[in-house]
Amino acid sequence: MLDLYQRAEFAAKANCHILLQGETGTGKDYLANYIHSKSLRSAGPLITINCAAIPEQLFESELFGYEAGAFTGAVSRKKGLLELASGGFVFLNEIALISLAAQGKLLSWLDDGRFFRLGGRQPVPVSANVISACNCELFDLVEKGLFRKDLYYRLAAVVIRIPPLRSRSAEDKKELVLEILLDLARSRGDARLADIDSKALSLLLQYDWPGNVRELKHVLKLAVALSGDKAIRSEDLELSQKPEMSLAEKGRGDCLCSLVAIEQNRNLKQALAAARDELVAKAVVQSKGNLKAASKLLGVSIDTLKYLRKMHGKGSHEQ
C-alpha cells in the first residue's frame, strides 16, 4: 500500500477535487498544504475556509462575496474566498457543517464554473480545485439526508482516509515532522529551527501520539523553544510517555503523567503544574534571565510568564 504522502502526491497531480477524511487532529490541514505544493496549481493560492468557524447566515457571503447594497452594511463590493482561490485551491475544512442551501450553491459552481455574488447579476467565473475535509464518514451524512449526494460525488473524486498518527509508517511520520519544523522555521525567519538530531527524530518516530498531529505540533513547538538556535535534541522533547512504555504496550488509558503522579504521590493537577513550572524554568535559563525572550520561546505574553513565575514563588517583584 502506498504511504499517505505518496497517495496525496498522486492525487495532487490528478488535478481533481479531493476529500480528506480522518479523526480530529490527524493533520488534514498539513496534508492539504502538501497536496497544494505538489499539484499543477502550486503557483496559485490555497485559501483555507474553516466551515465550523463561520456562522451559517454569513457563510454564503464569505464564500461567494457580495455586491454593494446586497444587504444592510454592504457599502461596497467584496470578493468571496472562493474568488480569491481562483487558479489554485480552496480548502473547505469541516465541510459536513455547511447548510443544504450553501451546498446547492457550491454544487452549482462546481457544475458550471461560475457563481453569482450575493446581490449580483453578473456571473463570476472561477477555476479552482477543492480540497474538502471531514472528521467523519461523509457518506454516512448523505445516507441520513444531511449532505447532498450529488455534491458528495463531485467533491470525492479522490478520497484519502487519514489514519491516526500512531498507525502511520515511519516515513510518513518523518515527512510530517520535517514539514512542521519547516513551518516553524519559516514563521520565525530562522532556518536553523528546522534542525533535529537523529536520536530525537528516532524518539518521535517511536512515540504513540495519542493526541495525533496536534500533539506532535505542540511537542515540536516547545522543543524549538527549548533548543534555542541549536538542533533539537532528545532532552528538548516533552513527551507525555516514554517510547518504551507506549500506549500500545501499556494499554490506551495510561500515560507518563499518571505514572509520575503515582510515584511522587501527586494527583494529575499537581503533576501538570510541576511540568509547567519546569518548562517555565528551562525557558528562563535558556534565555539567560531575559523574560521577554523567555516569553517568546514559550509563546505566551510576558505578563503571563510573570504570573506563572509568581505562582511558582519566583519573580513576585518583577516589573
Mean per-residue pLDDT of the chain: 84
Is residue 308 pLDDT above 90, yes or no? no
pLDDT band at residue 265 under the 50/70/90 scheme: low
Which residue did the predictor score with more confidence, 290 or 134? 134
pLDDT digits (tens, 9 = 90+) for 199-247: 999 999 999 898 899 899 999 988 888 887 788 998 889 886 544 433 3
pLDDT bucket at 313, cuts 50 / 70 / 90: low
Q: What is the pLDDT of residue 192?
A: 67
Confidence of residue 274 (pLDDT cuts 50, 70, 90): confident
Local confidence band at 250 (pLDDT 50, 70, 90 cut-offs): very low
For the segment 72-90, the average pLDDT, to the nearest whole number, is 93
DSSP-assigned letters across all residues of the chain = ---HHHHHHHHHHTTS-EEEE--TTS-HHHHHHHHHHHSTTTTS-EEEEEGGGS-HHHHHHHHHEE-TTSSTT--S-EE-HHHHTTTSEEEEETGGGS-HHHHHHHHHHHHHSEE--BT--S-EE---EEEEEESS-HHHHHHTTSS-HHHHHHHTSEEEE---GGGS-HHHHHHHHHHHHHHHHHHHT-GGGG-B-HHHHHHHHH---TTHHHHHHHHHHHHHHHHTTSPB-GGG---SS-GGG-HHHH-TT--HHHHHHHHTT--HHHHHHHHHHHHHHHHHHHTTT-HHHHHHHHTS-HHHHHHHHHHTT--TT--
Shortest CA distance to 134 belongs to which of 15, 262, 288, 29? 29
List the domains of the chain with CATH numbers. 4-163 (3.40.50.300), 168-311 (1.10.8.60)
What's the confidence (pLDDT) of residue 312? 65
Q: Where is average pLDDT lowest: 50-59, 191-200, 274-283, 305-314?
A: 305-314
Confidence of residue 169 (pLDDT cuts 50, 70, 90): confident
Mean pLDDT of 108-136: 94
- pLDDT tens, position by position, 53-63: 998 888 999 99
